[in-house]
Amino acid sequence: MSATPAIVWFQQDLRVEDHPALEAAVARGGFVIPVYIQAPGEAGRWPPGGAARWWLHQSLARLSELLAARGSRLILRQGESLAELREIVAATGADAILWNRRIEPAAASRDQAIAAALRCDGLRVGVTNGNLLWDPDSVRTSSGQPFRVFTPFYRACLAHEQPPTPRPAPARLASPANWPDSLPLAALELEPAIDWAAGMRAEWSPGEAGAQALLDRFVTTAIAQYPEQRDIPAAAGTSWLSPYLHFGEISPRQLWHAIARAEVDATSRRGRTATTPSNGKNASNASTVAFLRQLVWREFAQHLLHHFPETAQQPLRPEFAGFPAEDDPKALRAWQQGRTGYPLVDAGMRQLWSIGWMHNRVRMVVASFLVKHLLIPWQRGAEWFWDTLVDADLANNTLGWQWVAGCGADAAPYFRIFNPVTQSQRFDPAGEYIRRWVPELAELSDTQIHAPWQVPPEALRAAGVVLGKTYPRPIVEHTEARSRALAALAAMKHLRRKTSSRSRGKLPL
C-alpha cells in the first residue's frame, strides 16, 4: 500500500466501472488524480473527426460527474502529453502514472515513448489491458504469427480462458486537498462552432449510464432475435453500443459477460439447468453465439491494426496498391450527400450525416457502391466515415473498408458487388428505412420505392416524385458499373502478372 498519489491517465476508457488502471490506483491506497489530456497533434493522421469530437465532449462531461459523485474530479489538460503529465507530477508529488493500453499506431508509439521517459524520471508506470477481451500479442497462430483470417482467429480466442469478470466501480476515490490546475471542458473546443449536432443529441446519450441503458434494452428486448433482425436496418435489432465501446464507456468484457448472463437467465426462465458459459464456444443459444462472434470480430480488427499498422492507409494485400481506382470529386460528393439516386445508399448516407451512425448492413452496401460502382479509392470512404461516425474506430473502420474493397484480411472477394436494389428489396422490403431517411420517396409503394427510375411516370406523379428534381436519377447504371469494376480487377491482375514476369527476368550467364 502507498499513500503517495497516483495519476490515472484516461484516454479511450471514459468509465469508472471495470477500469483496470483506476482499480490499480485505488488499490495503492493513496490519492487518485484522474487526468484527461487533449493532444490532437499526437494522433498522427487520425485526430478525432467532427462527430467523434462532439461525442467526446459529452462523454467527458459524464465522466466528470461520475468522478465527482465519488469525491473526485477530472483534471483536463491540453498540450503535449508527456509535458502535461510531468507538470501534474510536479504539482501533486505523484509517483505513479497508470493507464489502459491503446493499439492505434500513433497512440501506441507515443505511449511507449512516454512510458520509457517517465520510468527514466523514476516514476512507476502501469499499463494494463482495459479495452480488449484478450491481449493482442497473446493470440497467435501455431507458428507464432499474427492471424490474417477470422475463423482460425475466432477459434484461437475461444480456446483462451474466458475474459475476466468485470470489476465494480470504486465507491469513493481518495482525493488531495489541493488539486492541480484544470481547464474548463469548453476550452477543449470539442463541440462544433456551428451547431449541426441536433440529430445526434436526439439519438444518443453518451456516457456510462447511456451505455448501460442500451445494454439493458438489448439483453431484454433484442438479443433473442439478434440472428434474424441484425441485418434489418429498420429494426432495433443491433445493440447500438459501438460508440460506447470505442470511447470505453463500457468495456468489451462487461458486454461479453452481460450477454452470457442473459443466456443463463433465459435458460433458467425456461426451467432448464442454468450454467454460465465459460466462453462463446460453450454458449448454447444461437443469439448469444452470434453476438459474441461479433465481439470477436471487433477483437480481430484490433489484432490486425496492432500487427499491421500500415493498413490504416495501405491495403493488407499489396497487389491492390495497383488497383486502377479513380478520384471523382463530383461522384464522391453525391455519395457523401446521399444523392446517388439509389434509395438504400442515399438513406444510409443521410442517416450517417444526421445521427453519426449507420446500420452495419447498409455500411457494406454504401461502401461497395463507392468502391465498385464508382471506382473511388476505399481510403476516401474511410476518411469520410472517420469524420462523420460517432463510433469512428480506426481498427474497425479499416477492417470494414478493406473487407468490402477485397484488399484486406479475410476480405470478401472484389467480384462480390452488392446490387443496391436487390439489397434494398431483401433487407428493407417494406421501405421503412428508406421512408425515414429519404422522405421524398415516402408515397411510393413498397415495391416501387427501391428503384424509382423504373416506376411508371403516372405513379411517380401520384407520389409527388420528379426524377432529377425532387430526387436524383441514378448517377451510374448498376450493370455497366459492375462490368467496369470487373474490368478494373482484371486490369490489376494483368498488370500484376506482367510485373511479376518482368521481375523474374533471366538468370545471368
Round to the nearest angstrom and report the end-to-end CA distance of the chain. 74
Q: Could you tell me which of 186, 244, 183 has the C-alpha nearest to residue 211?
A: 244
Q: How far apart are CA 349 and CA 356, in angstroms?
A: 10
- In terms of domains, do 126 and 140 share one? no
- In terms of domains, do 13 and 105 share one? yes
- In terms of domains, do 109 and 241 share one? no
Stretch (H or E) spanning 429 = none
Written as one string, the DSSP assignment of 462-477 is HTT--BTTTBPPPSS-
Q: Is residue 498 part of a domain?
A: no
* Per-residue model confidence (pLDDT) at position 299: 97
Q: How far apart are CA 148 and CA 410, in angstroms?
A: 7
- In terms of domains, do 20 and 99 share one? yes
Write 410-417 long-range contacts (CB < 8 A, 24+): 410/148, 410/149, 410/150, 410/151, 410/300, 411/317, 414/372, 414/485, 414/489, 415/486, 415/489, 416/368, 417/368, 417/372, 417/373, 417/482, 417/485, 417/486
The CATH number covering residue 414 comes to: 1.10.579.10
Q: Is residue 218 part of a domain?
A: yes
Q: How far apart are CA 405 and CA 399, in angstroms?
A: 10
CB atoms within 10 A of CB 34: 25
Q: Could you tell me which of 504, 131, 106 has the C-alpha nearest to residue 298?
A: 131
| Phi, psi dihedral angles at 285 (to 5 degrees) | -80, 130
304 neighbors 399 (Cβ within 8 angstroms): yes
Q: How far apart are CA 176 and CA 22, in angstroms?
A: 16
Single residue among 306, 337, 369 that ends a domain in this structure? 306
Q: Is 378 helix (H, G, I), strand (E, B) or coil?
A: helix
* Per-residue model confidence (pLDDT) at position 280: 53
* Per-residue model confidence (pLDDT) at position 410: 80
Between 208-217 and 50-68, two packed helices, what is the crossing angle to 10 degrees? 100
Type of residue numbered 232: I
Q: How far apart are CA 265 and CA 286, in angstroms?
A: 15
377 neighbors 42 (Cβ within 8 angstroms): no
The CATH number covering residue 44 comes to: 3.40.50.620
116 neighbors 109 (Cβ within 8 angstroms): no
Stretch (H or E) spanning 368 = helix 360-368
Q: Is residue 188 part of a domain?
A: no
* Per-residue model confidence (pLDDT) at position 277: 43
- In terms of domains, do 290 and 349 share one? no
Q: How many domains does the structure of the chain reveal?
A: 3
> Measured on CA atoms in the order 193, 198, 203, 209, is the torsion positive or negative?
positive
Q: For residue range 449-497, what is the model confidence (pLDDT) as tens digits?
A: 999 999 999 999 999 999 999 999 999 999 999 999 999 999 988 766 6
Q: Is residue 176 part of a domain?
A: no
Single residue among 277, 306, 335 that ends a domain in this structure? 306
322: cell is: 495497383
Q: Which residues contact 74 (CB under 8 A, 6 or more apart)?
A: 10, 34, 35, 36, 60, 63, 64, 67, 182
How would you write the pLDDT of the chain (509 residues) with one tens digit per residue? 567 999 999 999 999 999 999 999 999 999 999 999 999 889 899 999 999 999 999 999 999 999 999 999 999 999 999 999 999 999 999 999 999 999 999 999 999 999 999 999 999 999 999 999 999 999 999 999 999 999 999 999 999 999 999 999 999 999 998 999 999 999 999 999 999 999 999 999 999 999 999 999 999 999 999 999 999 999 999 999 999 999 999 999 999 999 988 876 665 555 554 444 445 555 458 899 999 999 999 999 999 999 999 999 999 999 999 899 988 999 999 999 999 999 999 999 999 999 999 999 999 999 999 999 999 999 999 999 999 999 999 999 999 999 999 999 887 788 899 999 999 999 999 999 999 999 999 999 999 999 999 999 999 999 999 999 999 999 999 999 999 999 999 998 876 666 554 444 433 32
- In terms of domains, do 352 and 421 share one? yes
Q: Is residue 413 part of a domain?
A: yes
* Per-residue model confidence (pLDDT) at position 260: 87
Q: How far apart are CA 160 and CA 227, in angstroms?
A: 25
Q: Is residue 504 part of a domain?
A: no
Enter the DSSP assignment of 149: S
Q: Could you tell me which of 337, 489, 476 has the C-alpha nearest to residue 420?
A: 476
Q: How far apart are CA 8 and CA 31, in angstroms?
A: 10
Single residue among 245, 275, 306 that ends a domain in this structure? 306
Q: Is residue 117 part of a domain?
A: yes
- In terms of domains, do 106 and 150 share one? no
- In terms of domains, do 378 and 477 share one? yes
- In terms of domains, do 137 and 115 share one? no
The torsion region of residue 436 among left (phi > 0), alpha (psi -120 to 50) and beta comes to alpha
- In terms of domains, do 86 and 152 share one? no
Q: How far apart are CA 251 and CA 492, in angstroms?
A: 42
Q: How far apart are CA 47 and CA 44, in angstroms?
A: 7
* Per-residue model confidence (pLDDT) at position 497: 67
- In terms of domains, do 299 and 366 share one? no
- In terms of domains, do 139 and 123 share one? no
Q: Is residue 271 part of a domain?
A: yes
The CATH number covering residue 288 comes to: 1.25.40.80
- Enclosing domain of residue 122: 1-130
